[in-house]
Amino acid sequence: MREFIFTIDYERGLDPLMDVFIDNPATHSRTIACNVTSNGMWRLERIAGTEEALERLDDVFDGPVQCTECIGTRDCDTEWHYEVIAEEAGSRTVYSYRSEAGDCHSIPRLAIEHVGQGVLVETERRGSRCEWRLLLCDDEGVDDLFGALEAELRPGLTVEFRQLGDPSYWTDEAVTLAELPPEQQAAVEAAVEHGYYRTPRDTSLSDLAETLDVSRSTLQYRLQRAEAWIVRSFVTRSMGPVEADESVAEGSRLRVSRSRV
């Protein structure tokens, strides 16, 4: 298996979807699951931001005037279905389905055409940048995909190829509390179970330590170590590798920038 990661930066006014993220820098979206075939794409996406930004995104999805995964100037005649399946203040989870006609030149369609079936796709949007992560069976067709992306790229967009190598990101997604040392895992699970992280708290650190039959200082240390790991894992997941310490290995990336203006 091979992992291909690249980003596309958008100037404002070129894509109605990305304009919402550009105008609302705190807004962020991430693919939860995505299935791609030559006939279409099905996706679950988690979007977080202000209500104003979310309402603007609704308008874009409800009446798309262009393919939101296309980076060229050619029109893509496609049917679009969009539905909010979970919603709370400041965030929502949406399901979308888009059929793809034979003349569609979206990024997922290009990937299928040049590297074949079996591609896993994930995207993350923030500000002017959309990051694409593709999990491929092998390297065959990747050079052709590079060329197709460059050929499609319309003025005002910049593509940056960040990584092509053995899968690392996808395995990181499987990280769970089981990755923590057993004593830290037990501390976090007990803290959640007894309401330590609720507001207001249902238990104090001292009471929780007594329940676990450890000293208060020991419990505090275990929770702090576990919390640091959880936060750093989340930041690495959302923003890319961070500086390594005892618990987080430093990531590596191959960066080659190319653009069409």
pLDDT over 60 at 133, yes or no: yes
Structure confidence at residue 121 (pLDDT): 85
Task: Please give the structure tokens belonging to residue 163.
Answer: 């990584």
Distances (CA, A) of 29 to 78, 129, 238: 22, 11, 10
Structure confidence at residue 203 (pLDDT): 93
Q: What are the φ and ψ backbone dihedral angles of 30, each rounded to 5 degrees?
A: -145, 135
pLDDT over 60 at 254, yes or no: no
Question: How far is residue 105's CA from residue 246's CA, in Å, rounded to a whole number?
Answer: 44
Q: What is the pLDDT of residues 12-57, one digit of tens each?
A: 998 888 999 999 988 999 888 777 777 778 888 889 988 899 999 8
Longest Cα–Cα distance of the chain, Å, equals 66
Burial of 247 (0-12, 13-18, 19+ CB in 10 A): middle
Name the amino acid, one letter, at 252. S
Q: Which residues contact 15 (CB under 8 A, 6 or more apart)?
A: 66, 68
Q: How many CB atoms lie within 10 A of CB 154?
A: 13
pLDDT over 80 at 163, yes or no: no
CB 10 within 8 A of CB 130: yes
For residues 110-122, average pLDDT: 83
Distances (CA, A) of 188 to 136, 181, 193, 236: 36, 11, 9, 20
Q: What is the pLDDT of residues 83-101, one digit of tens each?
A: 899 888 888 899 988 776 5
Domain residue extents for the chain: 2-172, 177-239
Q: What is the pLDDT of residues 180-233, one digit of tens each?
A: 777 888 899 899 999 999 989 999 999 999 999 999 999 999 999 988 888 877
Task: Name the residue with higher pLDDT: 65 or 242.
Answer: 65
Segment 16-20 long-range contacts (CB within 8 Å, at least 24 positions apart): 16/60, 16/64, 16/65, 16/66, 16/68, 17/57, 17/60, 17/68, 17/125, 18/125, 18/128, 18/130, 20/53, 20/56, 20/57, 20/60
Within 13 Å of residue 60, how many CA atoms lie on the same side as its CB?
18
Q: Residue 138's pLDDT band (boundaries 50, 70, 90)?
A: confident
